[in-house]
Amino acid sequence: MCDDLTDDSNKRWLAQKRLGRREFSALGIGATAAWLVPGCDSDSSDSKGAQGAAGAEAANSATTSSMVSIETPDGTADAFFVHPRTGRHPAVLVWPDVLGLRDAFKTMGTQLAAEGYAVLVINQYYRTSPAPVLTTWDEWNSDEGKNKVIPMAGVITPAGTASDAAAVISWLDEQSAVDIGKKVGSSGYCMGGPFTIRTAASRADRVGAIASFHGASLATDAADSPHRQLADVKAALLIAIAQNDDERQPDAKTKLREAADAAKLDAEIEVYPAQHGWCAIDHMVYDDEQADKAHDRMLALFKKHL
């Protein structure tokens, strides 16, 4: 999960690049994200913003979506379900970053669904609050935002995540848009990264591929560390690590590689030249080029293993 050290690292990185939020938007990156988020408008006339608008419109016209409720052992989870308008498709469970389910992740889920997947983006905080919990990174960067979210995150246990994943996959298998003859995928961002491994371990019979983007605490000294659970996983892996996360824990990639090799898993583990949070379209350190690369690697993974 994002913490003060990660936030400080990202701020130093932005300062070194002399790139503030206003300049960030002026470059077209922020404008693109605004175009993509459902319900957002942009006055930008730059070509990149226009391309983003066209892409969002095409994705929305090819898919259908709704908010859904899913019964779990710990209560009713709210989630965003989006899939192509016709046919049956492999299911993908998406775990959002620390801000939780919001418009940015609805957009990202819709983009993935347009590629031919039945995508469910879950509110991981359902035990204490419906989505959205936070809607912007400015909220997270405030004391009020952190004081709101950190206790909610503390309620989520590894066992709870595994239980949630099992319940959600069972729900997905009952949906007419899901092809139960295909394996299930999972992707996760920031705090959602390790949740993908717990998902794969909890339903090894169904999960065929997982993708973690700037995942937090993937390899720790804890007995139930995600990397130790790879022995129970039967899925292919994509683990995309942020450069500042790697600087803080350079041995994590080695532990993950050793665990994946010991479990004989197909694993792509790479440190990306980007900051923690680079894949979330509304993050201040969103990196268009590296996010596209990570997204393309995920699509390749899912195409091969789902």
pTM of the model: 0.85
**For the chain, what is the domain count?**
1
DSSP assignment of 231-261 equals GG--SEEEEEEEHHHHHH-TTHHHHHHHHHH
Average pLDDT over residues 58-75: 93
CA dist 25 → 37, 50, 107, 290 (Å): 14, 14, 18, 18
Please answer whether residues 207 and 184 qualify as being in contact, where contact means their C-beta atoms are separated by less than 8 angstroms: yes
Residue 5's Cβ-count burial label (10 Å; 0-12, 13-18, 19+) is exposed
Q: 293 in a domain, yes or no?
A: yes
Q: Is the pLDDT of residue 37 over 70?
A: no
As a whole number of angstroms, the distance between CA 132 and CA 39 comes to: 15
203: pLDDT strictly greater than 80? yes
User: What are residue 70's DSSP bridge partners?
Assistant: 77
How far is it, in rounded angstroms, from Cα 20 to Cα 24?
6
Separation between Cα atoms, residue 63 and residue 85, nearest integer Å = 5
DSSP structural state of residue 227: G
Q: How many helices (H) and strands (E) does the chain have?
A: 12, 8
pLDDT single digits (tens) 89-124: 999 999 999 999 999 999 999 999 999 999 999 999
Asked if residue 45 has pLDDT above 60, the reply is no
Q: Measuring CA to CA, which residue among 197, 157, 149, 219 is closest to residue 7?
A: 149
Domain extent, residue 296, equals: 4-20+65-305
**pLDDT for 60:** 77
Residue 146 in this model has a pLDDT that exceeds 70: yes
Select from 189, 122, 198 the least CA-distant residue to 160.
198
Average pLDDT over residues 13-25: 39
DSSP label of 216? S
> What pLDDT, on the 0 to 100 scale, is given for residue 157?
97
Q: Which CATH number is 168's domain given?
A: 3.40.50.1820
Quote the pLDDT of residue 61: 84
Task: Specify whether the CB–CB gap between 107 and 135 falls below 8 A.
Answer: no
- Whether 41 shows a pLDDT value over 70: the answer reads no
227 located within any domain? yes
Alpha helices in 114-188 (DSSP H): 137-140, 143-155, 158-172
pLDDT at 84: 98
Helices (H), the chain: 4-16, 21-26, 29-36, 47-62, 103-113, 137-140, 143-155, 158-172, 192-202, 243-248, 252-262, 288-305
Q: Is 273 inside a domain boundary?
A: yes
Inside any domain, residue 47: no
Average pLDDT of the segment spanning 132-142:
97
Mean pLDDT of 260-284: 98
pLDDT above 50 for 246 = yes
Mean per-residue pLDDT over the chain, rounded: 87
Q: Are 98 and 191 in contact (CB under 8 A)?
A: yes
Query: What percent of the chain stands above pLDDT 90?
Result: 80
Summarised one tens digit per residue, pLDDT across range 172-202 is 999 999 999 999 999 999 999 999 999 999 9
* pLDDT value of position 25: 34
Q: Would you put residue 28 in left (φ > 0), alpha (ψ -120 to 50) or beta?
A: left
- For a pLDDT cut of 70, what percent of the chain falls above it? 81
**What was the pLDDT predicted at 33?**
39
For residue 300, give both structure tokens.
């390749």
Supply 222's token pair: 């804890």
Tell whether the model's pLDDT for residue 128 goes beyond 90: yes
Q: Which of 256, 257, 287 is nearest to 272 (CA)?
A: 287
Residue 136 has pLDDT above 60, yes or no: yes
Q: Above 80 in pLDDT, residue 243? A: yes
53-57, 60-64, 256-260 — most confident range: 256-260
- In which band, very low, low, confident or very high, does the pLDDT at 58 lie, cut at 50, 70 and 90? low
Residue 129 lies inside a defined structural domain of this protein? yes
Higher confidence at residue 48 or residue 76? 76
At residue 52, the pLDDT reads 54
Task: Decide: 95 and 186 in contact? Cβ < 8 Å.
Answer: yes
